[in-house]
Amino acid sequence: MRRGPFRSGDKVQLTDPKGRLTTITLTEDGVYHTHRGSFGHDELIGAPEGTVVSTTAGIEYLALRPLLADFVLSMPRGAAVIYPKDAGQIVTQADIFPGARVVEAGVGSGALSLSLLRAVGDSGSLLSVERREDFAEIARGNIEDFFGRSHPAWTLRIGDLAEVLPEAVEPGSVDRIILDMLAPWENLDAVAHALTPGGVLLAYVATATQLSRFAEDAKADGRFTEPVAWESMVRGWHLEGLAVRPEHRMIGHTGFLVTTRRMAPGVSAPLRRRRPAPGAYAEEGVAVDEGALAADLGERDVSPKKLRKLRRSFDAHRRAREGTATPADQQADPGTDRTEADLE
């Protein structure tokens, strides 16, 4: 991320007196319009972060570069994003470290990819596998938009993980694998061949049924340790004088995280010693209707109209970074608003 004074092509997060957030991309001679006046981008270009700029109607805006969490919540989306609270847990609990060799499947809009690339650094590698080309295009635009370039550690492949993984990596060469997909249990065999002994497999699933199916299949596979699952919830606090209380809204359930580690080749995981609860295991296991699950989770196609709009926006951001922006680019990137409703 850039440091120092604002420059043309930078993303700037504007906060109004009511705490509402808007993200814009600075361009030479650009103008930010609101329903209560406007101001020129030139007032921010060359100014340091933490500057306050006023519209023609006297409304003040605080200007800062957006943090990664801010960018994720306001960036263009094709699929639902992994929220910052879960991305932080994934980076920590999957132990993503500088130089790590990481694979993720189910790129979506690229939200988790940004955190993973930050963690592995230029010396590591991230192979992202996405089966939908429209999602992959949006993810590529978001990642180039955030880093201002194509990240040197990133490789994006389109296809099914079970087909891409064997030809993309050497057996036993991957340190960490992250699965964000409807049926992660279907890829346990491919993952087991790719992971190094002791490597971490983490799955992000939305429903308890998915969680149960993945955990039981991982246990039955025999090449993984006992799975561990959890979820995180975030509750903000209202701070005003002595009126300190929990916020009325909170980020509740977004997904379950479940981790397990690769056993050494030829070594089976120890049998579980505790007694299962009565009725814990159905006679025929856990059945998942993947078609109904996809519908429930709201997976949908990205319309050609939205893709064209996003392409224009990404192209406008690229020209702004290169200093070749045109007046038409301001219409392609009017700014992105974000309010508390985006956190629900």
Which token pair is 260? 């397990």
Measured distance CA(189)–CA(186) in Å, rounded = 8
User: 């392409």: which residue's tokens?
Assistant: 311
Q: What is the pLDDT of residue 344?
A: 42
pLDDT band at 277 (very low <50, low <70, confident <90, very high): low
Residue 149, pLDDT score = 87
Quick one: which H or E segment has residue 163?
Answer: helix 161-168
Mean pLDDT of 323-337: 66
Of the two residues 73 and 214, the one the predictor is more confident about is: 214
Residue 276 — very low, low, confident or very high, per pLDDT cuts 50/70/90?
low
Domain containing 147 equals 70-273+282-296
Which of 101-105, 130-134, 249-253 shows the lowest mean pLDDT across its residues?
249-253
Confidence class for position 251, pLDDT limits 50, 70, 90: confident
Residues 11, 127, single domain; the answer is no
pLDDT of residue 308: 77
Question: Is pLDDT of 300 > 90?
Answer: no
Q: How confident is the model at residue 343, as a pLDDT? A: 42
Measured from the Cβ of residue 291, the count of other Cβ atoms closer than 10 Å reads 9
What CATH number is associated with residue 144?
3.40.50.150
Alpha helices in 6-102 (DSSP H): 68-74, 84-93
Claim to verify: residue 181 and residue 194 sit in the same structural domain: yes
Say yes or no to pLDDT of 232 above 90. yes
Q: Which pLDDT score is estimated for 164? A: 96
Q: What's the CATH code of the domain at 21?
A: 3.10.330.20
According to the per-residue pLDDT averaged within each range, which of 56-70, 74-88, 303-317, 319-333 is highest?
Answer: 56-70
Q: Residue 341 pLDDT > 50, yes or no?
A: no
343 within some domain: no
Q: What is the mean pLDDT of residues 287-292?
A: 64
Structure tokens given for 147: 């880093």
- Residues 264 and 127 placed together within one structural domain of the fold: yes
Last residue in a domain, options 43, 66, 89: 66
Q: Which helix (H) or strand (E) holds 198?
A: strand 195-205
Q: Are residues 51 and 164 in the same domain?
A: no
Residue 325 lies in a domain: no
β-bridge mates for residue 201, sequence order: 177, 260
**20: CB partners within 8 A, 6+ apart:** 337, 338, 339
**pLDDT band of 303, cuts 50, 70, 90:** confident
**Arithmetic mean of pLDDT, 54-82:** 90
How many percent of the chain have pLDDT more than 90?
63
Distance CA 27, CA 172 (A): 47
29 and 80 belong to one structural domain: no
